[in-house]
């Protein structure tokens, strides 16, 4: 069984990350007027071809049926409660000290250019 993230495999994210990194290197090399960007694009092209040609994992599920128990459920709920409480405290502090504070306008007596 393969690991899927948002319905696609991890290999797509690896290829996408490589291309984003190559595009950033290419844009930076345009600014500094060096040929490193073309080399990065060529290298990522070769790596993409290699990664695409690597055989994929089988999509058949495992034959064994194991019950999976979530032993971290209680700790996740505790973390969720702590995050909720800290978010509420932060929001009330922002409302109390950030939004409610009055800002009085300052009169401009003369215009200086």
pLDDT tens for the chain, 113 residues long, are 567 777 777 778 888 999 999 999 888 888 887 788 888 889 999 988 988 887 776 667 667 778 888 889 999 999 999 999 999 999 999 888 888 878 788 887 777 76
Residue 61 lies in a domain: no
Residue ranges making up the domain that contains 79: 4-55+74-99
| Element at 36 (helix H, strand E) | helix 36-53
Residue 8 lies in a domain: yes
Could you give the number of structural domains in the chain?
Answer: 1
Residue 69 lies in a domain: no
| Element at 100 (helix H, strand E) | none
To the question of pTM greater than 0.95 for the whole model, the response is: no
């Amino acid at each position: 069984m393969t690991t899927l993230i948002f319905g696609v495999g991890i290999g797509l994210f690896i290829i996408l990350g490589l291309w984003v990194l190559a595009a950033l290197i290419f844009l930076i090399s345009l600014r500094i007027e060096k040929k490193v960007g073309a080399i990065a694009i060529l290298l990522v092209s070769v790596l993409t071809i290699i990664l695409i040609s690597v055989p994929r994992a089988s999509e058949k599920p495992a034959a064994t049926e194991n019950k999976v128990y979530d032993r971290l459920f209680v700790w996740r709920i505790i973390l969720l409660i702590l995050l909720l409480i800290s978010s509420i405290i932060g929001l009330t502090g922002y409302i109390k000290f950030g939004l409610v504070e009055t800002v009085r306008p300052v009169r401009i007596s003369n215009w200086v250019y």
